Chain A
Amino acid sequence: MSNATEMTLEQREATIGGIGCARRRKEDVRFIQGKGNYVDDVKLPGQVFGDFVRSPHAHARIKSIDTTKAKAVPGVLAVLTAADLKPLNLHWMPTLAGDTQAVLADAKVHFQNQEVAFVIGTDRYAVSDGIQAVEVDYEDLPALVDPKQALAKDAPVLREDVAAKDNVGQGPRKHPNHIFNWDVGDKGATDTAFSSAAVTVKEEIFYQRVHPCPLEPCGCVASMDKIKGELTLYGTFQAPHVIRTVVSLISGLAEHKIRVISPDIGGGFGNKVGAYPGYVCSVVASIVLGRPVKWVESRIDNLSTTSFARDYHMTGELAANKDGRITGLRVYVLADHGAFNAHAQPTKWPAGLFSIVTGSYDIPAAHVTVDGVYTNKAPGGVAYRCSFRVTEASYLIERMIDVLAQKVGVDKAEIRARNFVKAEQFPYKSCLGWDYDSGDYHTALDKVLKAVDYKELRKEQAEKRKRGELMGIGIATFTEIVGAGPSRNCDILGIGMFDSCEIRVHPTGSAIARLGTKSQGQGHETTYAQIIATELGIPSDDITVEEGDTDTAPYGLGTYGSRSTPVAGAAAAQAARKIRAKAQKIAAHMLEVAEGDLEWEIDRFKVKGLPEKSATMKQIAFAAYQSVPEGLEPGLEAVNYYDPPNFTYPFGAYLCVVDVDRRTGEVKVRRFYALDDCGTRINPMIIEGQVHGGLTEAFAIAMGQELIFDSNGNIQGASLMDYFLPTAVETPVWETDYTVTPSPHHPIGAKGVGESPNVGGVSAFTNAVVDAFAHLGVTHMPMPHTPWRVWKQCEALGIGE
């Protein structure tokens, strides 16, 4: 039983490959050989294909749909319309935000490319021909595209289906195109702060509509086994269990008869959380035809109909003293939700976690009001690494503090330092009600300023300005809120936002873990194994991690909002600790000592004072199946459902340097320095990869992405011809850095990091571009900072020639 320690402590740690180790990823092996298993790779016997007839109009009545010619196209098997779904009550489905959404347009279409009919055929080529042959007669209606017109007296009523309701799931509403009004904070205290302030600033800040555009579009394969009465549904689902519950609720199929499988997913970024009409139609078609039905959307479908992101028209105001110390924050948001309120978010928060808008700053009074409205656009809003509207909130406050800095003539780094929540104030309760777990903002910012030699950069900028050259320095010191969330205030469709991990250790010492989250590239097969490896002393190479199959994985709320590490990661640690507690009992039994005589070291229990008497986890594992102490069951496994006591609050300090060509409006990113604090760092290599990817998305958003609509509701730029996805040539080189401020309430102190770079990055870029013009009196420039917009600013200042 005792072992001579053949390996040193360092060697044993290295063998474990646990927390902190930049170990290579376990999932890579299949991807680099083209052996990933994505939804479109799934091929079931007898499988057929389905796809949509989509409306060319943004707002129209459907007068008739003639499917005769389509059904006659060789290879076409069936065509579904709303009329076919009506008897099943599936032509509409509930959204995750309390509204209803059309599965197939019933009498009316509400946005361009909305689904009108579902054509099923033997292969995608036949289906495509069938789609061409469906004849739809539309009566065009005036489109409502400007959210500012949505609440006008004479605005066209979009949602006739709910026009009579005074509540569409998020509280009382005041107009047929109004969805909700949300109010948080202390209006009285805020008004007082403003009326007594030495300085106030106000700015209109629009965060444009963009789209997460993962490289793999959405899709599914639905397979109904009519004999067993069981449905198997493969799909691009970031939250497979939620999909299972939703499908059960809307189809009437009992949940134990539904198996949802998320195989490998080619990027999610919030695009693949909700249920889309394609999923529902595939399920219905499979039930009707008794065959597996595959639906995979095109890129244009993806960009124009699945969950968009942002589209927040914000008005920000700060009250401050003349030194730039903020005394009050006021925000009004007009939120354009599109035609259905369909985004995924905790039900109590119609504007997500927007009230994190006080950011890293100690603001004594704040008041936020949000009005959500319908327009003739695709539904969505919460997506694209946003942490539930945190991207919008962080953008607002980071822009406003720069606006304030310019007004009071205080340096933009200095004003932040003056307003930061101080390290000794943690845990900190914000005036909008959030309990920040930990942070050290001053240290983070100081580290960045030192690394880039900030003083030199400002000197260089001053010299360049004398020569008429435009150079900008953008700072973003963000705090964001992730890890949704405590079930007392976080639920989706009533289900608390806990998460789970189940671990089973095998007799020969390796293990399998299953969790309720679902990676779409974040490296969970590696990082969860690392957490468990450190807790259990089993090499991470010997721990299989599985997610995505609802038949085997414990219930979880999925992966989005950077919640995997804070919630499921905690569950993994807790489940492992349960196992280790049992292992300690078994070890005591094996070594014939009392439990209290043992201490844990990397991969084994040692007897205190007798180090040569030890039992490795590997030995204990076998013993668990061989002979356990009286009163214990054989085996070595545990499950934990973790209901987090709080969110986590990762933070960071980013600094961006840009040079602007005033004659063409081109913005060149000269340098980008990103410091992130995500608490305990599980795998530094993976963290760095997440930061690179998130910053690249932020760069794309700030510099070129937008989905716009003409006055008829025609969407512009919804293909990769126009939608700006940077290549390796445009993408800047990222410099990454970190500090570590663990979360005091998390079992391993980890906070999550995936969305931080998108949250902080966009602000850093915009702040840099505006800073380039700040000396000329410019306080804000709307995104995206395409060359023409930037040039228009130059021209307005008379420096564009």
Chain B
Amino acid sequence: MIPGAFEYHRPASLDEAVTLMTNHGDEGRVVAGGHSLIPMMKLRLAVPTHLIDLGNLADLKGIRAVGKAVEIGAMTTQHDLIASDLLAETCPILREVALTIADPQVRYCGTVGGNVANGDPGNDMPAVMQCLGASFMLRGPKGARQVAARAFYEAAYFTARKDDEILTAISIPLPAQGHGYAYEKLKRKVGDYAIAAAAVVLAMDGGKCKSAAIALTNVGETPIFAEAAGNSLVGTAVDDGAIAKAVAAAKAVAKPAADMRGPQDYRSHAAGVMVERAIKRALTRAKR
């Protein structure tokens, strides 16, 4: 219940934050919304001696359209993401996913940056970001770089972000107007980690699928971008046969752990059901 002792820093600028990260190395951790890190600190599973609070960094807040993309500051809370009219209009899957995360209190504090950066296989945003083809902007002592969400996750709690880098923003290429989307999450209770979840974004044209992306949550060490499954829908009418093929392809790449949520075969099966339901729901929303 009680964290270890640490020195608290509240940098006023991104440069200052990066410098602190570099100086403190292993001993330093950034805190964004705190609702992943602080519970771990309370169980002493994380014991940073320097805590670098990103809360003052105005640079990391805000949601704005940037050309054909939308850019979300890493410190945007789930609550603000849900409230964003811009996102509701241009990328509504984000709101749908955010509402499945935790509970209202956690959503007031938890940030989308934190949810994508910490590499917890149970987090919901990573798979959705992969589905959307998002990129994460990182800033370190050597400068800024971008990493595609689809290339960001290496293993549970291991990502492409180096220890001295801070994830500053997420850039999402806007899905086509009239796209269909859905996030289907099977869970034991509201806000819980998924038993299995599937994100689907697709676009139709003249009754045929023009583009489709499918990604899975919590059925592997990392989010799983089911590339072949998504590709298999392209060019089809997304009929039952095509859906079944996509489901099989998605299940083939699911590698769930067995835990209290269920054994592996169940979770793979559940992933398949979620993919199927997500595709069907996305289809109802897509402009044909």
Contact = CB atoms under 8 A, between A and B. Distances in A.
Chain A directly contacts chain B within the complex, with at least one CB pair under 8 Å: yes
Interface of A: 124-125, 127-129, 132, 298, 663-666, 704, 708, 716-717, 722, 724, 726-727, 729-730, 786-788, 791-792, 795, 800
B260 A717 contact: yes
Given A704-B188, A729-B189, A787 B1 contact: no
Nearest to B190: A729
Contacts of B186: 664, 666, 787
B5 interface: yes
Contact of B189 (A727, A792, A795): A727
B285 interface: no
Contacts of A663: 273
B145 interface: no
Given A717-B260, A792-B266, A787 B188 contact: yes
Contacts of A787: 186, 188, 195, 262, 266, 270
A132 B1 contact: no
Contacts of B64: none
Given A125-B2, A664-B273, A788 B44 contact: no
A298 B270 contact: no
B141 interface: no
A128 B2 CA distance: 6
B241 interface: no
Contacts of A298: 1
Nearest to A124: B2
Contacts of B25: none
A800 B269 contact: yes
12 contacts: A127-B2, A128-B1, A724-B188, A726-B189, A727-B189, A727-B190, A727-B191, A729-B190, A730-B189, A787-B266, A791-B266, A792-B266
Contacts, number: 57
Contacts of B1: 124, 128, 298
Given A722-B260, A787-B188, A788-B262, A129 B273 contact: no
A708 B258 CA distance: 14
B263 interface: yes
A664 B2 contact: no
B162 interface: no
Contacts of B190: 727, 729-730
Contacts of A729: 189-190
Contacts of A716: 260
Interface residues of B, number: 21
Nearest to B274: A664
B68 interface: no
B178 interface: no
Interface in B179-199: 186, 188-191, 195
B191 to A, nearest CB: 8
Interface in B1-23: 1-2, 4-5
A276 B149 CA distance: 50
A788 B189 contact: no
A357 B266 CA distance: 36
A510 to B, nearest CB: 43
Interface string B195-230: 100000000000000000000000000000000000
| Top 4 closest pairs, chain A to chain B, by CB | A788-B262, A128-B2, A729-B190, A788-B266
Given A704-B189, A788-B262, 18 more contacts: A125-B2, A129-B2, A129-B4, A132-B4, A132-B44, A663-B273, A664-B270, A708-B260, A727-B190, A727-B191, A729-B189, A729-B190, A786-B262, A787-B188, A787-B195, A787-B262, A792-B266, A795-B269
B184 to A, nearest CB: 10
A717 B188 CA distance: 14
Contacts of A795: 269
Nearest to B189: A730
Contacts of A717: 260
A129 B261 contact: no
Contacts of A125: 2
Between B189, B263, B267, the greatest number of chain A beta carbons within 10 A of the residue's beta carbon is seen for B189
A420 to B, nearest CB: 37
Nearest to B103: A727
Contacts of B263: 788, 792
Contacts of A726: 189
A128 B261 CA distance: 31
B242 to A, nearest CB: 18
Contacts of B270: 664, 787, 791
Nearest to A700: B189
A792 B270 CA distance: 12
Nearest to B273: A663
B259 to A, nearest CB: 8
A791 B188 CA distance: 13
A589 to B, nearest CB: 63
Interface string B254-282: 00000011110011011001000000000
B120 to A, nearest CB: 12
Contacts of A128: 1-2
Interface in B86-135: 103
Nearest to B262: A788
B107 to A, nearest CB: 14
A666 B189 CA distance: 11
Between B44, B195, B266, the greatest number of chain A beta carbons within 10 A of the residue's beta carbon is seen for B266
B126 to A, nearest CB: 19
A724 B195 CA distance: 14
Contact of B188 (A124, A786, A792): A786
Contacts of A132: 4, 44
B5 A129 contact: yes
Contacts of A792: 263, 266
B102 to A, nearest CB: 11
Nearest to B196: A664
Contacts of B267: 788
Contacts of A665: 266
A791 B263 CA distance: 11
A722 B193 CA distance: 10
B5 A724 contact: no
Contacts of B269: 791, 795, 800
Nearest to B5: A129
A695 B47 CA distance: 41
Nearest to A728: B190
A27 to B, nearest CB: 27
A727 B260 CA distance: 19
Contacts of A722: 260
A510 B79 CA distance: 53
A37 B109 CA distance: 30
Nearest to A800: B269
Nearest to A665: B266
B47 to A, nearest CB: 9
B134 to A, nearest CB: 28
A795 B273 CA distance: 14
A665 B188 CA distance: 11
A16 B44 CA distance: 56
B93 to A, nearest CB: 21
B261 A788 contact: yes
Nearest to A723: B260
Nearest to A661: B273
Nearest to A706: B260
A125 B2 CA distance: 6
Between A124, A127, A791, the greatest number of chain B beta carbons within 10 A of the residue's beta carbon is seen for A791
A726 to B, nearest CB: 6
B282 to A, nearest CB: 18
A125 B4 CA distance: 8
A786 B188 CA distance: 8
A315 B64 CA distance: 65
A298 B5 CA distance: 19
Contacts of A704: 188-189
A118 to B, nearest CB: 16
A258 B239 CA distance: 77
A380 to B, nearest CB: 21
A678 B261 CA distance: 38
A252 B107 CA distance: 53
A663 B196 CA distance: 13
